Amino acid sequence: MPDARKKPLAGIRVTDFTWAIAGPYATTMLSYFGAEVIKIESRRRLDITRTVVHPITKKFPDPDESPAHIDFNHNKYAVTLNIQHPAARDIAKRMAQVSDVVVENFRPGVLARLGLDYKVLATLRPDLIMLSTSTMGQTGPKSGIVGYAPLFAAESGLGEMTGYPDRPPGQVRLTVDAMSALSNTFTIMAALHYRASTGKGQYIDESSTEVVSALLGDSLLDYTANGRVQTRSVNRDENGAPHNCYRCAGQDRWISIVVHTDEEWKALRETMGEPAWAAEPRFATTAGRRAYEAELDKHIEAWTVQFDAYDLMHRLQEAGVAAVPSFSSEDLFTDPHLIERGLAHVLEQPKLGALIIQSPPWKLAATPPTIDRHAPLLGEHNPYVMKELLGMSDLDVKRLEEQGVFT
């Protein structure tokens, strides 16, 4: 059991109506700090992370064994409720009543139709913090749109800003969902602080598209201030050169190298063995190297391609040049630095045994965020929530079960 004395959010309960990633990952992050998160699901429409095709077997998994579900829902409790049933909605209300935080990502308007929106829940629990996360927010002409991560990455401007200028925009997927999750966790925690200071809860309306647009702020300002429309520029930057990834020995192996100062350029030249081309005056300054960047990159790649990416990182770092391989998943989980930092966490998962997920990404010396529970099986905590939390008798539960409330 986690040591509640070392958990900042011990005693905070979260009722989680969300599915997919932006909501569930946010509540998992709250759980790392000790919040008790109870996810509401339905067998009638499973969370899509429980049903995605298994990466190896290429089959639809047992919903309790889906890797994607485990990645985003470990450390939680889970109940099944058929929210179309009036008794289920009543249970949801009672859960909200004993919760500090409610999170939802239905399409805007759905919760109001079910009579479970903030207006209703706040009458039952006045200091409730409730967050709605959606593709484009609860208001505005496009509030109702349907869309997955690549779609809001496109809407936000990020797709257009990613990739090669002579090719279509880059499709950005899962990471934008996770960015939205970060924002959701941040705002819920800020609202918890406000509540701790004032006793007041509140409602938060988040737009995933806006989360991502905010991460392009400087590029957006170039338009609002200068009228300039930036676009994708590979890995380049007008403030430095070289500034790219370069091929290394082996298949699909690359290293990122960035030079901003004269000292770094000198160090790179020396490490390359002072080739004649690098001594040409046109490569002497950042402006010159920027002007002949395609040529510069060819020269550098002709050198990097002879070496192993890791060896090159160590050589260049030793010389004072910023150089880091473009790490693959295999690199990350076998890397000495990340092994020492404890990236891999072994999770004991029912039905599957030990598997590897990532440790929480922050290290707090006095209150380390921890993973204490497996990813819940479908409906695993119906008895705990209905009986212990809501005080139902065995008979109550049985009766509701017969009515199909827990499907």
The smaller minimum CB distance to other proteins, of residues 267 and 397, is found at 267
Decide: is 173 part of the binding site for other proteins (CB under 8 A).
Answer: yes
Candidate residues 191, 312, 375, 385; the one interacting with other proteins per rule CB under 8 A: 191
Which residues are paired to 78 by β-bridges? 39
Decide: is 247 part of the binding site for other proteins (CB under 8 A).
Answer: yes
**Closest distance to other proteins from the beta carbon of 109 (Å):** 15
Structural contact between residues 72 and 37, judged by C-beta atoms closer than 8 angstroms:
no
Decide: is 78 part of the binding site for other proteins (CB under 8 A).
Answer: no
Cα gap 102→85, rounded to integer Å: 20
Which letter does DSSP use for residue 62 in this model?
Answer: P
- Near other proteins in 197-226, by CB under 8 A: 197-198, 200, 202-211, 213-226
Structural contact between residues 72 and 24, judged by C-beta atoms closer than 8 angstroms:
yes
**Closest distance to other proteins from the beta carbon of 356 (Å):** 4
Decide: is 187 part of the binding site for other proteins (CB under 8 A).
Answer: yes
What are 194-197's contacts with CB under 8 Å, separation 24+? Answer: 195/100, 195/127, 195/129
Element (H, E) at 314: helix 309-319
Which letter does DSSP use for residue 250 in this model?
Answer: S
Decide: is 147 part of the binding site for other proteins (CB under 8 A).
Answer: yes
Decide: is 165 part of the binding site for other proteins (CB under 8 A).
Answer: no
Decide: is 107 part of the binding site for other proteins (CB under 8 A).
Answer: no
**Closest distance to other proteins from the beta carbon of 10 (Å):** 9
Decide: is 43 part of the binding site for other proteins (CB under 8 A).
Answer: no
- Other beta carbons within 10 angstroms of residue 399's beta carbon come to 13
Decide: is 38 part of the binding site for other proteins (CB under 8 A).
Answer: no
**Closest distance to other proteins from the beta carbon of 402 (Å):** 32
**What is each CA distance from 320 to 59, 242, 302, in whole angstroms?**
49, 14, 21
Candidate residues 114, 343, 390, 397; the one interacting with other proteins per rule CB under 8 A: 343
- Near other proteins in 124-143, by CB under 8 A: 136-143
Q: What is the dihedral of CA 348, 1, 76, 99, to 10 degrees?
A: 170
Decide: is 39 part of the binding site for other proteins (CB under 8 A).
Answer: no
- Near other proteins in 271-300, by CB under 8 A: none
Which letter does DSSP use for residue 186 in this model?
Answer: H
**Closest distance to other proteins from the beta carbon of 116 (Å):** 17
Stretch near other proteins under the rule CB under 8 A, chosen from 83-91, 100-108, 365-373, 382-390:
365-373
**Closest distance to other proteins from the beta carbon of 147 (Å):** 5
- Other beta carbons within 10 angstroms of residue 27's beta carbon come to 28
Element (H, E) at 132: strand 129-134
Q: What is the dihedral of CA 83, 85, 89, 95, to 10 degrees?
A: -70
Decide: is 243 part of the binding site for other proteins (CB under 8 A).
Answer: yes
**Closest distance to other proteins from the beta carbon of 86 (Å):** 27
The smaller minimum CB distance to other proteins, of residues 90 and 238, is found at 238
Cα gap 258→313, rounded to integer Å: 12
